[in-house]
Amino acid sequence: MGGDGIGPEVVTEGLKVIAAAGVEMDTVEYDLGGERYMKDGTILPDEIVEEWRGLDALYAGAVGSPGVPPGVIERGLLLKMRFDLDLYINLRPFVTTDHDFVVIRENTEGTYAGEGGFLRKNTAEEVATQGSVNTRHGVERACRYAFELAMTRNKHVTLIHKTNVLTFSGDLWDRTFNEVAAEYPAVDTWYNHIDAACIYMVENPAQYDVIVTDNLFGDIITDLAGAVSGGIGLAPTANLHPGKMSMFEPVHGSAPDIVGTGMANPIAAILSGAMMLDHLGETDAADRIRTACADTDTLTGTTSEIGDAVVARLA
């Protein structure tokens, strides 16, 4: 699903690199996103979601077009996909020569759940509420995923929240995190408030190994993490339901302002492709792609030149 703006441009490079790494895939193409919505009103029909359940993975570029009102594509396509397919882990690794950490963002709950509404809309007494939904089940599986991952890494998990103010959801997160932590005595833990985490991440991102956090804090901190890791043009994402159909996309958006200029950096999409190969069990090809992308400073040029340079390094 190339999507809108630079989405198709970067997905083309990702598919090129996957093929060059020697992985053959059967593919189906989906024309969805803001442009499609403006053409015929289609966002994400339930039949397509059902079809996706039978696939192994969805490789996506980016969706969103300037002419579409906010929320239509975000809620109707991206969040619908995450919720309907229960893609409960949003996995975002950030690797540079100076640091290597990964954010586990809970991907189906929190303020994203859509709880709330208006009272007396469009009057002077208007009220809008937007609640945060946090279930023991949702929080626990995110924490457990983080600890399992930490066991394969540097055995350090940081919970990021705002427990001093969000005393209901924060309390559930804190208790659940500590209960899961007790099952992993080999793993060291740390807690940061989200505001303080923004400072620590700018000052010394290398102090993190695995971070686990709620949906909205995870959205924000991963943009910051991208900014301290060479820019979001380099940041990949996996939206996972381990063992089931999962979705892979760059952290960046459709960047309509640079579409067609060749300025889009395809590395985030290429690395998202590598995460997809991990999910498909093609870990050797995934590692080779990551190695080929490692020296990002020397991967310059247009979108397709960067794709070609990664391909050349795979040889």
- Applying the rule CB under 5 A, the residues between 213 and 242 that interact with Mn ion are 219
Residue located via tokens 């093929």: 19
- Applying the rule CB under 6 A, the residues between 243 and 302 that interact with ligand IPM are 251
Question: Mapping DSSP to helix (H, G, I), strand (E, B) and coil, where does residue 51 land?
Answer: helix
3-state secondary structure 209-230: CEEEECHHHHHHHHHHHHHCCC
Q: Is 209 in the site for ligand IPM (CB under 6 A)?
A: no
Question: Mapping DSSP to helix (H, G, I), strand (E, B) and coil, where does residue 109 land?
Answer: coil
Q: Is 143 in the site for ligand IPM (CB under 6 A)?
A: no
Whether the Cβ atoms of residue 255 and residue 7 lie closer than 8 Å to each other = no
Contacting residue, 10, 11, 57, 78, with ligand IPM by CB under 6 A:
78
Q: Say whether 112 is catalytic.
A: yes
Q: Is 106 in the site for Mn ion (CB under 5 A)?
A: no
Residue closest to ligand IPM (Cβ)? 74
Contacting residue, 42, 48, 74, 224, with ligand IPM by CB under 6 A:
74
Of the pair 10, 78, the CB lying nearest ligand IPM is at: 78
Of the pair 209, 219, the CB lying nearest ligand IPM is at: 219
From the list ligand IPM, Mn ion, none, which binds 109 (C-beta under 5 to 8 Å, kind-based)?
A: none
Half-sphere exposure of residue 78: CA atoms within 13 angstroms, side-chain side = 26
State the minimum distance, in angstroms, from the CB of residue 112 to ligand IPM. Answer: 7
**Euclidean distance between CA atoms 307 and 315, whole angstroms:** 13
State the minimum distance, in angstroms, from the CB of residue 226 to ligand IPM. Answer: 10
Q: Say whether 223 is catalytic.
A: yes
Residue located via tokens 């995923």: 145
Give residues with Cβ within 8 angstroms of 262, minimum separation 6. 302, 303, 304, 305
From the list Mn ion, ligand IPM, none, which binds 78 (C-beta under 5 to 8 Å, kind-based)?
A: ligand IPM
Interhelix angle 303-314/283-293, rounded to 10 degrees, is: 120
Please give the positions annotated as active site: 112, 162, 195, 219, 223
> Which residue ranges make up the site for ligand IPM (CB under 6 A)?
74, 78, 219, 251
